Structure 1
Amino acid sequence: MTDPDFPIEAAQRLVTTALAEDLGPDGLDVTSSATIPLDQVTTGHVVAREPGVLAGGPVIALVLDGVASLTSGTPPSLEVRITDGARLGVGDVIALLRGSTQQVLMAERTLLNVMSRLTGIASHTRRWADALAGTGCTVLDTRKTTPGLRELEKYAVRAGGGTNKRMGLYDVAMVKDNHVVAAGGVAPAYTAIRERYPDVTIEVEVESTEQALEALAAGARFLMCDNMSVDLLRATVVAAREWVAGRGESVEIEATGGLTLDDAAEYGATGIDYLSVGGLTHSSPIVDLALDLV
């Protein structure tokens, strides 16, 4: 059964595109079709070649179904042994496939490409989540995703223990320096968004304690502290929480910019709610997965 959190429609679109890219307009694997009878049956194992955290397992069935439709055959049977979000060890068998050898080989590269990419993101995210354990801070992703893969990459972040910040420009308003310049200040920008979109969450980017207090005075209750040192961030958190507490309110605070795994725990311990890390999606190395015939 597919995880209900898995973005099945986005995955189907990707699989359709990827198979067309790999098999061409005629849906053809020239090597396999020339050397292997369509009725030859085999068993294949999807295995981990290195440790990680799995993401993208439901893609296997989608790829097998896609290949079967191209060959007018019955898709190989599938037994999933490890589900998304689980840690992988070297040699772990993620899934067993049994069916047409030709179909299995036609599906191999597409399913591995997608799963290796998503597993890489989940594994990278898990390292950040582990580094922040006990601090009360959560790691967030950003919009720095591969075009066309955002839903899947953000799913992989969730599988790795992270949280999605916003899906796009449409669901959260973020007032950054260019918006402040264009609108004539933090207060005019905040007010304009609140009047036009009264229900949308608004976050304001700040680079100093003074800017944070200005944003709070304008009405913001979600701050993104950009490129602050640990000491400046800690002082800003204290000042911001004292300001809202005096009014019987609360504020969410995020830190971003130049963060590394080595300093994640130190930043997380400043009292912030979130660390956002663009590298979760734009710089995660793949995890090496393979499909072995047995």
Structure 2
Amino acid sequence: MPTIDFNPPADVADTVARALAEDIGDGDRNALLADAAAPAHAVVVARENAILSGRPWFDAVFAALDADVRIHWRYADGERMRSETPVCELHGPARAVLSGERTALNFLQLLSGVASTTHDYVERVKGTNTGIVDTRKTLPGLRSAQRYAVRCGGGVNHRFGLFDAILIKENHIMAAGGIESAVAGARAQSPDLFLQVEVETLEELDAALEAGVDAVLLDNFATHVLARAVHMADAHRRRFRRQIVIEASGDITLTNVREIADTGVDRISIGGLTKHIRATDFSMRMQVDAPATGDPAAGGAQT
């Protein structure tokens, strides 16, 4: 298994800017209820056991609103949070904390939900050599963020999009006139890209292997047929002394994922990691301190 990469993607600031523009528009009328000079202290609490993910986006929200907001984290991304425990504390101008609260928590609840679901699947296949892999079934505009969350949960990223690897599916095969012609066309156009073919029968698997693919995606195979498919692919690997990634997908659940992993597949791709999302429950509670004044009797700073 590869080392987990916790480096955030390059588009964090852009993603946060779009989210803030969506929520704040031309100004936060609600935050004006707080004194402009009032400092605030806030605590974010996890309401359930979960895997944390989303700190870079949370931090970027408040950095974009006011550089004076300071955040102290109790957990790192990828760590398991305990229910009803503080996750982080914020100190800074009340208006900035109020304006950023919902957007920051939205990122945290979404990405922690993805990481937690991924972690559950990873735990189920522990002890096998099978990786849990995401898909392109992501929320529009949030793919890089969700892929980061999958890594936080111990999962592995598939191709990012349609440009960095080729996955020939049934519609491509139909359009090209067959597996052999589809593979040949892909190799001719993009000889250096990783090439995978989705197959639905053992006959299609044999055709894909003979065409010289880098990986096969075994879609909706019954477990006993999946085991035969793995045996076929292994035999092909030994025969030609070349690496072929064997991936399973289709109707994967926590109930059957271990049985599928035990067939010997290299990885299992699950669209539900980023598509069927149950957000993690967080809450933020804030206290506003009285703003500093020039009146010594009021406890403020003298000027």
In structure 2, what residue type is equivalent to 1:291?
M
Instruction: Please name the residue that 1:223 is paired with.
Output: 216
Instruction: Please name the residue that 1:15 is paired with.
Output: 16
In structure 1, what residue type is equivalent to 2:267?
Y
Match of 2:196, SS state, is strand
Q: Which runs of 5+ in 1 are unaligned?
A: 69-73
Instruction: Please name the residue that 1:45 is paired with.
Output: 43
Match of 2:198, SS state, is strand
Over alpha carbons, which structure has the higher Rg?
2
Taking structure 2 as the reference length, what is the TM-score of the superposition?
0.90
Asked if the contact 1:145/1:281 (under 8 Å) is kept, the reply is yes
- Counterpart-to-counterpart distance in 1, 2:166 and 2:57: 32
Identity fraction in percent:
36
Instruction: Please name the residue that 1:113 is paired with.
Output: 106
* Structure 2 residue 188 is the aligned partner of structure 1 residue 195: yes
Instruction: Please name the residue that 1:178 is paired with.
Output: 171
Alignment of 1:1-294 (within 5 A): 5-7=7-9, 9-25=10-26, 27-28=27-28, 30-33=29-32, 35-68=33-66, 74-294=67-287
Taking structure 1 as the reference length, what is the TM-score of the superposition?
0.93
Match of 2:68, SS state, is coil
- Counterpart-to-counterpart distance in 2, 1:218 and 1:107: 53
Match of 1:261, SS state, is coil
Cα offset, 1:5, TM superposition:
1.0
Q: Deviations over 1:41-60 (max 9, x none)?
A: 12111211111100101222
- Counterpart-to-counterpart distance in 2, 1:90 and 1:117: 17
Cα offset, 1:4, TM superposition:
6.2
* CA-based RMSD: 1.4
Match of 1:246, SS state, is helix
Match of 1:262, SS state, is coil
Instruction: Please name the residue that 1:71 is paired with.
Output: none
- Counterpart-to-counterpart distance in 1, 2:34 and 2:200: 62
Cα offset, 1:36, TM superposition:
1.6
Cα offset, 1:78, TM superposition:
1.6
- Counterpart-to-counterpart distance in 1, 2:25 and 2:68: 20
- Counterpart-to-counterpart distance in 1, 2:171 and 2:34: 59
Asked if the contact 1:180/1:189 (under 8 Å) is kept, the reply is yes
Match of 2:240, SS state, is coil
Q: 1:99 to 1:250 in 2, by over 3 A?
A: closer
Cα offset, 1:31, TM superposition:
2.6
Q: How many residues align?
A: 283
